[in-house]
Structure 1
């Protein structure tokens, strides 16, 4: 039975059988002799058979993006009191688009690597424990000393709609091209890569230039979504909500026809498959093979809108990996989103019911 550190080394070697001991040491933050000692033990245990050979490679998705601790309140009364106290419910839970996508993927039975950064604080330790429980591989992630894990505070009204949010995600500045460079072999060995727009703009440009496998982008925030639109866009798919889409296309969305037109504009801008989801409406998908509108069920009781986009991005990846027929993929994506919006959790544990 490998130790925790040896399992991390084994995971990294499985992704890139030709990775050097120096690269392993840099990623894991240990010495090269330390790596050599662990590898020697793995060989003795029969888990690897020397450099360049490991047991058969498994299918996996790499997610690059943010993890944070969410603090959110749901106001109980219909009328909101500005500059005063509102009675309601306050909840604290792990979040972050990247982390939520990764968690949804493992719920869907997909092996997932999450590349992110987090602090050496209590929330960082909670994240590590949760990742182990969910079997999210964070061998390529990095815990940053003397930094705090990202935090996100937001308030919803009683219908689940967002009133205001404040994010403290400066730690994501460490997800640089240099940070990802040593991880590139493992990234390019993935079946798919998903990233969110919380990462720096120059890092997104680097991903477009260097990643050779299909990529899915999840737009995040009206202030960051525009970072996705660059001269060298290299995307298979874009998952985006109505507000972010309006900012990029400079088009308001107040009807089904306007939503369809906005999706078409995004298709031209990004030259990618578009999955546009809009609160109170549904999903508008345009791909190489089909165009489809799938509205949300009318009897859905929304608990929390946070997490819907991440769940849909994971569902897009799942349908691509499983070669789901085009006429069924939009239905599946919306079902995953509906389960998420009916939960107070950022990741619904009912998602797995859809694949059983």
Structure 2
């Protein structure tokens, strides 16, 4: 099957995760523990998921001229991502996120070094969009500077533009381009921030989003699935049954699965529903991006859930 291509623009990050062997951390001294590392970043993770789903995908990002940067680019290429749009910046460190958890699974401290993304100029995004075909789907995360996001919005030329804010703090970078976004993926906390509220029930938040400037999107609710809005209509998208071992990466898989099915020609609700299978498969693997993910596996998991629901009635 032929899929429309997708161009992902945003973060490419080295993740380092540590955990102390004892249930409680010991501050101001050394702790015995374990460390593991991997390649992450929302845009890069979405791109890898898309590549594993069989969708032609390119990445626009930046890495440093260092070992981490070489590792990130090599891993991305090996996964099937076109990395021509990844700029290697001399004198800059590849972005990294380091998180230390205690043995009880509680975050002790997290350190995000993302300064390199501030140097991704509007011209880099404009050049990538100029080279992309007219039917390419576009995806951005808010690791990009506001000026670069605005350049993407100006240069989209009628192409579909989807976005993930990454965090409540970085959501502000979308302020000027919200009317230009065709699809927005966000969680309930980001939704409350966008709507200027302290909180709220998911259904109320979804109705507020549906009345806002973004045409359609997914309000993700973890194990409760998601609420999709399209113009002024809100639709519940149920999560599929799963046995989670690591929920990191579920949102990236959901966004990628939705984009992949849109690239295949599905309408938005059908695409988001099928993408729930990508999220279910991802939480059952230790990796942030499941290495054996495929379109065949995603659709088979979705079809299986439909048969299970039919039998259980």
Q: Identify the TM-score tier after normalising by the shorter chain.
A: 0.7 to 0.9
Q: Secondary structure at the match of 2:84?
A: coil
> Paired residue for 1:247?
193
The question of 1:283 aligning with 2:204 is answered no
> Paired residue for 1:148?
93
C-alpha contact (below 8 Å) 2:211/2:231 kept by paired residues: no
The question of 1:101 aligning with 2:43 is answered no
The question of 1:261 aligning with 2:204 is answered yes
For the pair shown, the structure with the greater C-alpha radius of gyration is 1
Specify which structure has the bigger relative contact order, considering alpha-carbon pairs within 8 angstroms and separated by 6 or more residues. 2
> Paired residue for 2:145?
200
Work out which of the residue numbers 95, 102, 120 in structure 1 matches 2:65: 120
Question: Aligned pair count?
Answer: 295
Instruction: Show CA shifts across 1:245-265 (max 9, x none).
Output: 2222233556xxx11211222
Q: Secondary structure at the match of 1:70?
A: strand
* Structure 2 residue runs without a partner (length 5+): 301-313
Q: Secondary structure at the match of 1:99?
A: helix
C-alpha contact (below 8 Å) 1:147/1:171 kept by paired residues: yes
Q: Tell me: CA distance 1:276–1:250, structure 2 relative to 1, closer, same or farther (3 Å).
A: same
Q: Which moved more, 1:191-200 or 1:333-342?
A: 333-342
Instruction: Show CA shifts across 1:297-350 (max 9, x none).
Output: 5653242x3322221211121121122355543332222122222322120124
Q: How does 1:150-299 map to 2 (within 5 A)?
A: 150-155=95-100, 165-187=110-132, 189-212=134-157, 213-230=159-176, 233-253=179-199, 258-288=201-231, 291-297=234-240
> Paired residue for 2:298?
354
Richer in strand (by share): 2
CA RMSD between the two structures: 2.9
Q: CA deviation at 1:162?
A: 6.2
Q: Secondary structure at the match of 1:149?
A: coil
Q: Secondary structure at the match of 1:152?
A: strand
> Paired residue for 2:252?
310
Distance 1:58 1:334 in 2: 19
Q: Secondary structure at the match of 2:288?
A: coil
Length-normalised TM-score, structure 2: 0.83
> Paired residue for 1:83?
27
Q: Which moved more, 1:149-158 or 1:262-271?
A: 149-158
Distance 1:184 1:191 in 2: 9
Q: Tell me: CA distance 1:87–1:355, structure 2 relative to 1, closer, same or farther (3 Å).
A: farther
Q: Tell me: CA distance 1:232–1:262, structure 2 relative to 1, closer, same or farther (3 Å).
A: closer
